[in-house]
Structure 1
Amino acid sequence: MKNFELFLNETGISIFYIKVGLGFLSSFLITFFSIPTIIKISKRKNLMDEPGVRSSHLRKIPNLGGIAIFYSIGICTSIFAYEIFDLYKFLFASLIILLYVGIMDDIVVMRAYKKLVAQVVVSVLIVVGSDVRIRNLFGIFGVYEVHYWISVFVTVITFIILINAFNLIDGIDGLAGGYSLICSALFGISYYRLGEYNYPLVILSVVLIGSVLAFLYYNMSNYRATKIFMGDTGSMLLGFLLAFTCICFIDIFIDKKLFSIPSYHLESAPVIAVAILILPIVDTLNVIVVRLWNKKSPFEADKNHIHHKLLKLDLTHRRSSFYIITYYLAIVTVTYFLRHTNVNLLLFIVLFLGFLGAYIPDFIFMLKNNKIKTNN
């Protein structure tokens, strides 16, 4: 390997770009060629997603696509970004636990409290064991450096919320996968711009992109024979990994045991991270508030999600996913151009635009109904 790296250095080719290219190609191909086998086994063993209260599909569809995503990430990250598992020693163990819990839930449907216990365990492992924490809020609500135990508590809660939030937005074709792809690209570009010490996280983001892109080929398929969902396995893995990359982005620092290079911080980093993950955050908070307002359990299934509202407007899954992703990508763009604004004002703008997007479909639906009544 050293001789190969020496050859690349002599020819002026960076090993990093080779890893990026091979990481993307390998993750795409592994997922792409794994899914047909998973579909075949799922149908043979009747491991299918049954239409339910929140479902937007009418037929049984295989829902173990998350296995292919894990398979791809586990192999490609270990080969092309092995430094990640060295720096964050409990990361792979956390992924294994989520894989097991996700498959169990996709096949036999686990009780909510059992899934929550598993999510708490993996969150504590990565937060306490690997020291991945939100250490500083950069002035949000007047808070800067956060006490260790408060930091641990807040970060664990953040992991749990984001894991479940991605599970909740996985309701129509292409939404969770497409949004994960966009988030991975944005975090990957950010890490790349912040220097070579973050290159393993860039490769992780690229591997995620390749794997999710291959999954979307099947998830967006119009042919029932090749269609598959990511299931809880996929949504929990993606939610966990994007929470991981999000928190690393907020607290980018160089390990003082290895390097003596000063940390780089962007004061609006927490708000930019919120903007990138604004869709699952807003959708989850909005649904919980609506359920509590209607005196229902926050865990009770309903059709108050943003994607359900767009389907009520007679939009297809593809159009709904495209409109949702485009709108929330626009919020990220606004946040980027306003990144030097006061951090609290910027957070207000991001949340306002986020919740506005959640109610625009309601407003359109109301106008549409009023127009029909007027014409009648």
Structure 2
Amino acid sequence: MKNFELFLSEIGISIFYVKIGLGFLFSFLITFFSIPTITKISRRKNLMDEPGVRSSHMRKIPNLGGIAIFYSIGICASIFAYELFDLYKFLFASLVILLYIGVMDDIVVMRAYKKLVAQIVVSALIVTGSDIRIRSLFGIFGIYELEYVVSIIFSIVTFIILINAFNLIDGIDGLAGGYSVICSALFGISYYRLGAYNYPLVVLSVIIIGAVLAFLYYNLSNYRANKIFMGDTGSMLLGFLLAFTSICFIDIFIDKELPNVPRYHLQAAPAIAVAILILPIVDTLNVIIVRLCNKKSPFDADKNHIHHKLLRLDLTHRRSTFYIITYYLFIVVVAYYLRHISVNVLLLIIVALGFIGAYIPDFVYYLRNNKK
């Protein structure tokens, strides 16, 4: 690879752009050509998602699409963003553990506590082993630099919350996948603007986009034989990777004495990261609050998620996904233009807009029923 990079530099071609192009192409193609085989095996072995209480579909659908996403990201990231695996020693191991747990849950349905233990192990590996952690809150609630132990615990909890939050929004066609593409694109653009030191993270973001776009081709298909879900395998994998990229994003803006690494500072960095991931964060918080107010367990399944509320308005899966992603992209735009105001004020605005978006469908539903 190094000889190839030297050859490209001699003829005036940037290896970074070659990695971007090939990473996207191969990640897309690997996922695209893997899914039909996975679908065929799933149907033959009856490895299907059964409609349940929270389900928004009425028939059995293969749910092992996450395997193709892992396969694609695992191969392409190891080739085109190999620097990440040198820098973060436990990254690939964490992905493999999540693959195993996800596949087991998609096939035999694991108990919640077993999944939680696995998520704690994975999060602890990446936080302590690779030192991917939230070191500062940049003045949120008056808190700046975190003590090491507090930083470790807070970072592990953040990983676990985001992994499960992405699992919860995977309830209608295209939502988890489409939102992952948007988040990866936003983080990728941010990393690109922040300089060459972050280019491996740009390549990783592009690889995720390629893999998920190929998955969405089948997930949004109207042809029943092609349709597939990403399952817990895909949602946990994407939740973990987006938690990883968001914490890396926050970490960029912390003043660190590293040789040959440019320093940046953006006081609102944590708020920007929250804005990008606002949908799973707000959706999870909202359903937990609703369940507690109704004196139910936070872990009880129900249909209080944002996507369920839009389906109640007789919208299709595609239209619901489009509306949700469009609204939460609006929040990102607001956060970007207000990025230089107080981080506490910005965070309050972002969270408030997030919850407003969660209750707009309820308001529309109320108005519609009152007119009848």
Output the TM-score relative to the length of structure 1.
Answer: 0.97
Gap regions ≥5 residues in structure 1: none
- Looking at structure 1, the residues matched to 346 and 255 of structure 2 have their Cα atoms a distance apart, in angstroms, of 30
Q: Which residue of 1 aligns with 2:331?
A: 331
Tell me, yes or no, if structure 1 residue 11 matches structure 2 residue 8: no
Query: What is the 5 A alignment of 1:40-51?
Result: 40-51=40-51
Question: Does the CA-based 8 Å contact 2:253-2:266 persist in structure 1?
Answer: no
Structure 2 residue identity aligned to 1:370 = N
Query: What is the 5 A alignment of 1:87-106?
Result: 87-106=87-106
Deviation per CA, 1:291-325, whole angstroms, max 9, x where unpaired?
00000000000000000000000000000000000
Q: Structure 1 residues 333, 257: closer, same or farther in 2, change over 3 A?
A: closer
Q: Which residue of 1 aligns with 2:295?
A: 295
Question: Does the CA-based 8 Å contact 1:49-1:63 persist in structure 2?
Answer: yes
> Aligned-pair distance for 1:9?
1.8
Q: Structure 1 residues 209, 334: closer, same or farther in 2, change over 3 A?
A: same
Q: Which residue of 2 aligns with 1:70?
A: 70
Query: What is the 5 A alignment of 1:247-326?
Result: 247-252=247-252, 259-326=259-326
Query: What is the 5 A alignment of 1:135-154?
Result: 135-154=135-154
> Aligned-pair distance for 1:261?
3.2
Question: Does the CA-based 8 Å contact 1:95-1:237 persist in structure 2?
Answer: yes
Deviation per CA, 1:335-366, whole angstroms, max 9, x where unpaired?
00000011100000000000000000000000
Gap regions ≥5 residues in structure 2: none
> Aligned-pair distance for 1:7?
3.0
> Aligned-pair distance for 1:252?
1.2
- Looking at structure 2, the residues matched to 366 and 217 of structure 1 have their Cα atoms a distance apart, in angstroms, of 35
> Aligned-pair distance for 1:6?
2.9
Q: Structure 1 residues 292, 16: closer, same or farther in 2, change over 3 A?
A: same
Q: Which residue of 1 aligns with 2:370?
A: 370
Question: Does the CA-based 8 Å contact 1:69-1:215 persist in structure 2?
Answer: yes
Tell me, yes or no, if structure 1 residue 202 matches structure 2 residue 202: yes
Question: Does the CA-based 8 Å contact 2:271-2:346 persist in structure 1?
Answer: yes
Q: Which residue of 2 aligns with 1:227?
A: 227
> Aligned-pair distance for 1:263?
2.5
SS in 1 for 2:132: coil
- Looking at structure 2, the residues matched to 255 and 20 of structure 1 have their Cα atoms a distance apart, in angstroms, of 28
> Aligned-pair distance for 1:5?
2.3
Structure 1 residue identity aligned to 2:272 = I
SS in 1 for 2:139: strand
> Aligned-pair distance for 1:4?
2.9
Q: Which residue of 2 aligns with 1:176?
A: 176
SS in 1 for 2:144: strand
- Looking at structure 1, the residues matched to 39 and 261 of structure 2 have their Cα atoms a distance apart, in angstroms, of 49
Structure 2 residue identity aligned to 1:279 = L
Q: Which residue of 2 aligns with 1:123?
A: 123
What RMSD over aligned residues (CA atoms) do the two structures have, in Å? 1.3
Q: Which residue of 2 aligns with 1:55?
A: 55
- Looking at structure 2, the residues matched to 274 and 256 of structure 1 have their Cα atoms a distance apart, in angstroms, of 22
SS in 2 for 1:225: coil
Q: Which residue of 2 aligns with 1:162?
A: 162
SS in 1 for 2:300: coil
> Aligned-pair distance for 1:255?
11
- Looking at structure 2, the residues matched to 347 and 94 of structure 1 have their Cα atoms a distance apart, in angstroms, of 30
Q: Structure 1 residues 2, 243: closer, same or farther in 2, change over 3 A?
A: closer
Question: Does the CA-based 8 Å contact 1:251-1:265 persist in structure 2?
Answer: no
Deviation per CA, 1:107-137, whole angstroms, max 9, x where unpaired?
0000000000000000000000100010011
- Looking at structure 1, the residues matched to 371 and 225 of structure 2 have their Cα atoms a distance apart, in angstroms, of 40
- Looking at structure 2, the residues matched to 143 and 338 of structure 1 have their Cα atoms a distance apart, in angstroms, of 21
> Aligned-pair distance for 1:219?
0.1
> Aligned-pair distance for 1:326?
0.2
SS in 2 for 1:59: coil
Give the fraction of aligned pairs with identical amino acids, expressed as a percent. Answer: 82
- Looking at structure 1, the residues matched to 89 and 241 of structure 2 have their Cα atoms a distance apart, in angstroms, of 14
Question: Does the CA-based 8 Å contact 1:254-1:261 persist in structure 2?
Answer: no
> Aligned-pair distance for 1:253?
6.7
Question: Does the CA-based 8 Å contact 1:64-1:106 persist in structure 2?
Answer: yes
- Looking at structure 2, the residues matched to 304 and 93 of structure 1 have their Cα atoms a distance apart, in angstroms, of 35
> Aligned-pair distance for 1:3?
3.9
Deviation per CA, 1:127-170, whole angstroms, max 9, x where unpaired?
00100010011111111111111001110000000000000000
Question: Does the CA-based 8 Å contact 2:8-2:14 persist in structure 1?
Answer: yes
Structure 2 residue identity aligned to 1:143 = I
Question: Does the CA-based 8 Å contact 1:98-1:236 persist in structure 2?
Answer: yes
Structure 2 residue identity aligned to 1:225 = A
Deviation per CA, 1:156-192, whole angstroms, max 9, x where unpaired?
0000000000000000000000000000000000000
Which of structure 1's runs of 4+ aligned residues deviate more than 4 A? Answer: 253-258
Question: Does the CA-based 8 Å contact 1:90-1:125 persist in structure 2?
Answer: yes
Tell me, yes or no, if structure 1 residue 25 matches structure 2 residue 31: no
Structure 2 residue identity aligned to 1:230 = M
Question: Does the CA-based 8 Å contact 2:255-2:264 persist in structure 1?
Answer: no
Question: Does the CA-based 8 Å contact 2:85-2:91 persist in structure 1?
Answer: yes
